[in-house]
């Protein structure tokens, strides 16, 4: 029997990266999954993979920035599976990379709407459903950017993701006595399709790797390693899954930083913000670090995910 047997979980941003692997991990652990994302084709492929392994999944195609999508996901969980126990609000985007004085209001609002407001709208719908079940677990994908280290060119992204940590802490304080826990996952760089697109050059990749204590990116692998192993493809997914485990019932209001990042290298600090941002390689890497952080959950995530779930 899996660790999430009989539990119902909503996972947003499930069409790729961390969300995709988390959905497979949760299903493998016995959860009934409601996968949410904008890309219908990728969701269908995910559903096929889960069902082939004997899992149970329903898909909801929609934009996480729209509350109607969150409402549909919760209604699907209730109608098809009887309720909601876990919500992994993982949807997000890097957005535009630029120095603060060059960020457009449109780019600013895009980052906040996609990374922060979408999570708030989701939680608004998910919390009442969890209260009806006597409790549950909310998990949010944040990042080390703006928390562990400042990242040139990532003002909007950092602000939106840091806001998730604040939202997590407030939810934990407000609903802890009613059985709802809330935790944030802060993954680091991961070698995924999105990450490679964001850091297309060796220079950009090397810069991001240098930010991590191990000087390397997470490398997702499709394996049958136990859920607690970071070597599996869904390391990101693991932490989310473990968040539910009985042993983790006291974990709430926490930020699980599995990225092991160091501070910005002295060399980058000496050069200043503008040169780093204007450099094409630096710009690409900044965007990538962001996007990778959303997928890196796939490396260490399995452990934290299962813990805070």
**What distance in Å separates the CA atoms of residue 183 and residue 165, rounded to the nearest whole number?**
8
DSSP-assigned beta bridge partners for residue 88: 11, 139
Greater pLDDT, 188 or 14: 14
pLDDT value at position 213? Answer: 67
pLDDT value at position 206? Answer: 80
pLDDT value at position 218? Answer: 65
Q: Residue 17 — pLDDT band, cuts 50, 70, 90?
A: confident
Q: Residue 26 — pLDDT band, cuts 50, 70, 90?
A: very high
pLDDT value at position 302? Answer: 57
Q: Residue 203 — pLDDT band, cuts 50, 70, 90?
A: confident
CA distances from 108 to 103, 153, 154, 198, 208 (A): 7, 12, 10, 19, 23
pLDDT > 70 fraction of the chain, expressed in percent and rounded: 66
Query: Token pair of 125, please?
Result: 């719908």
Q: What is the mean pLDDT of the chain?
A: 78
Q: Which of 246, 217, 255 is nearest to 307 (CA)?
A: 246
pLDDT value at position 277? Answer: 37
Question: Are 258 and 188 spatial neighbours (Cβ–Cβ below 8 Å)?
Answer: yes
pLDDT exceeds 80 at position 296: no
Q: Residue 289 — pLDDT band, cuts 50, 70, 90?
A: very low
Residue 114, number of CB atoms within 10 A of its CB: 22
Confirm whether 3 is domain-assigned: no
Q: How many domains does the chain have?
A: 1
Print the domain residue range for 224: 8-308
Confirm whether 84 is domain-assigned: yes
**CATH number, position 192:** 3.40.50.720
Over residues 70-93, the pLDDT tens digits come to: 999 999 999 999 999 999 999 998
Q: Residue 242 — pLDDT band, cuts 50, 70, 90?
A: low
pLDDT exceeds 50 at position 23: yes
Confirm whether 1 is domain-assigned: no
Taking residues 19-28, report their average pLDDT: 94
Taking residues 102-107, report their average pLDDT: 96
Of the listed 20, 81, 157, 175, which one is catalytic?
A: 157
Over residues 111-166, the pLDDT tens digits come to: 999 999 999 999 999 999 999 999 999 999 998 777 776 778 889 999 999 999 99
Taking residues 175-183, report their average pLDDT: 95
pLDDT value at position 228? Answer: 33
| First-to-last C-alpha distance (Å) of the chain | 16
Confirm whether 289 is domain-assigned: yes
Confirm whether 2 is domain-assigned: no
Q: Is 157 a catalytic residue?
A: yes
């Amino acid at each position: 029997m899996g660790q999430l047997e009989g539990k119902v979980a909503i996972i947003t941003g499930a069409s790729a990266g961390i969300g995709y692997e988390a959905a497979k991990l949760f299903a493998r652990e016995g959860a009934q999954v409601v996968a949410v994302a904008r890309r219908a084709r990728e969701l269908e492929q995910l559903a096929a993979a889960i069902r082939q392994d004997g899992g149970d999944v329903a898909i909801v195609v929609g934009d996480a920035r729209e509350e109607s999508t969150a409402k549909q996901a919760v209604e699907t969980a209730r109608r098809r599976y009887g309720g909601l126990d876990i919500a992994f609000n993982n949807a997000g985007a890097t957005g535009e990379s630029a120095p603060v004085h060059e960020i457009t209001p449109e780019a600013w609002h895009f980052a906040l709407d996609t990374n922060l407001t979408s999570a708030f709208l989701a939680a608004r719908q998910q919390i009442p459903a969890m209260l009806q079940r006597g409790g549950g677990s909310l998990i949010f994908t944040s990042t080390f950017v703006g928390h562990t280290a400042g990242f040139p060119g990532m003002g909007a992204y950092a602000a939106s993701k840091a806001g998730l940590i604040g939202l997590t802490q407030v939810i934990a304080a407000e609903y802890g006595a009613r059985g709802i826990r809330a935790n944030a996952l802060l993954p680091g760089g991961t070698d995924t399709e999105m990450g490679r697109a964001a850091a297309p050059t060796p220079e950009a990749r090397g810069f991001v790797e240098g930010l991590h204590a191990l000087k390397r990116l997470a490398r997702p692998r499709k394996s049958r390693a136990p859920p607690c192993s970071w070597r599996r493809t869904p390391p990101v997914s693991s932490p989310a899954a473990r968040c539910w485990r009985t042993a983790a019932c006291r974990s709430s209001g926490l930020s699980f930083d599995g990225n092991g990042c160091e501070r910005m290298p002295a060399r980058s600090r000496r050069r200043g913000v503008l040169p780093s941002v204007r450099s094409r390689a630096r710009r690409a890497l900044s965007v990538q670090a962001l996007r990778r952080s959303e997928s890196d959950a796939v490396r260490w995530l399995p452990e934290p995910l299962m813990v805070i779930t």
